[in-house]
Amino acid sequence: MSDLAAGTVNHQVRLAARPSGLPGPEVWEHTEEPVGEPGEGRFVVRVTHISLDPAMRGWMNDVRSYVPPVGIGEVFRALAGGEVVASRHPDFAVGDHVTGQFGAQEYAESDGSGVQKVDVGAAPMATHLAVLGMTGMTAYFGLFDVGAMAEGETVLVSGAAGAVGSVVGQLARIKGGRVVGIAGGAEKCRFLVEELGFDAAIDYKAEDVRKGIRAAAPDGVDVYFDNVGGEILDAALTRLRRGARVVLCGAISQYNAGGRPVGPANYMSLLVNRARMEGYVVFDYADRYGEAAAEMAGWLRDGRLRSQEDVVSGAVTDFGDTLLRLFRGDNTGKLVLQIA
């Protein structure tokens, strides 16, 4: 079956060059291709929402990581949501709403690998890319599994107004923790406390973070969920409680810095406090996504969890400019490009 009009054009965003520092327009190439009918066992998705994530900056570098870098000339890797518009796949029908790694383009052909059907009646597509998608999974498994958060513990999270951070803080509250967020700007801090129920927020642009942590968590921190690295990680290390867990989720302060990243000078606090610092990659939890999504969907329904999305409406060619919002700290919650 197909709803594809003849002559439909797919606008695409490809990686043209590897950036040093912030990825400017020179990094991107915009291309067009005709959209063909899918082959046997395959289907075509019209992309309506593209997820923008800090990890994308890492995929631009030509270095070994948990996934290979995006190659020069390739459509840029991105999680996205959309609607099946043509199908020769037995499990996907025209009209199905799906999420998957469709890339920064308007149309994607797929064999169904890694593709999830989603119910856009139950929650809007942006939410399926946010709390109910990889963002939510990253928060859930990072806090509960890697961080092993227990009821009554004090949780500190950086990048707290960002996609993952805003979920981490809410999950910690739901599980009976005391939650302190670190974010940039008074408005983000107000949002965390007044709208998301954080116990306290520290504005790293206006306050000494170390003093802020001491004031907001005078007995120290049991779980520090790090999205930013750099000086904030170093400040957090000075306020660990005995047996604390530092969850390494990201290091956005370092992604566009020149030269080598800055290591945490205070890492020996891990020894003094018998603490650990541990990294993870959410894909390793794929066989438990269903369990986490079901639990979070319940919390969404009963209003204890809020999915904060920052949806930018535009063309796929706005992808590069929209991505920069992440590194400027302009967004609150999950950044999504909705294809107008």
Positions that interact with a copy of itself (CB under 8 A): 64-66, 229, 234, 248-251, 254, 260-281, 284
CA–CA distance, 138 with 129 (Å, rounded to integer): 12
Q: Of 159 and 250, which CB lies nearer to a copy of itself in the complex structure?
A: 250
For the chain, list the strands marked E by DSSP: 9-15, 28-34, 43-51, 80-87, 97-100, 107-110, 116-117, 154-158, 178-183, 200-203, 221-226, 240-248, 276-279, 309-314, 334-339
Cβ of residue 249: shortest distance to a copy of itself, in angstroms?
8
DSSP 144: I
User: What is the smallest separation between the CB atom of 320 and a copy of itself, expressed in angstroms?
Assistant: 24
Which of 272, 232, 228, 235 is closest to 250 using CA atoms?
228
311, two tokens: 């949806």
Q: How far is the CB of 74 from a copy of itself (least distance, A)?
A: 21
Alpha-carbon gap, residue 47 to 54, rounded angstroms: 20
Nearer residue to a copy of itself within complex by CB, 107 or 141: 141
**H-helix segments, 99-229:** 125-129, 134-141, 163-174, 186-190, 209-216
The smaller minimum CB distance to a copy of itself, of residues 260 and 328, is found at 260
Residue 216 C-beta: closest distance to a copy of itself, Å: 19
**Number of Cβ within a 10 Å radius of residue 23:** 21
How crowded is residue 229: how many other Cβ atoms within 10 Å of its Cβ? Answer: 23
User: Given the complex with a copy of itself, which of 105 and 273 has the nearer CB atom?
Assistant: 273
Number of alpha carbons in the 13 Å side-chain half-sphere of residue 126: 17
50 strand-pairing partners: 80, 337
The nearest distance, CB 108 to a copy of itself, in angstroms, is 27
Q: Which residues pair with 336 in a beta bridge?
A: 51, 311
Q: How far is the CB of 58 from a copy of itself (least distance, A)?
A: 9
Least separation in angstroms between residue 231's CB and a copy of itself is 11
Min dist. Cβ of residue 246 to a copy of itself (A): 9
Chain length of the chain: 340
Cβ-based nearer residue to a copy of itself, 127 or 273 = 273
Q: Which is nearer to a copy of itself, 77 or 89 (CB)?
A: 77
The CA distance from 150 to 119, in Å, is 32
139 vs 200 by CB, closer to a copy of itself? 139
Nearby residues of 287 by Cβ (< 8 Å), 6 or more positions away? none
Asked if residues 14 and 75 have their Cβ atoms less than 8 Å apart, the reply is yes
* Residue 86 or 143 having the CB closest to a copy of itself: 143
Q: How far is the CB of 270 from a copy of itself (least distance, A)?
A: 4
Residue 93 or 265 with smaller CB distance to a copy of itself: 265
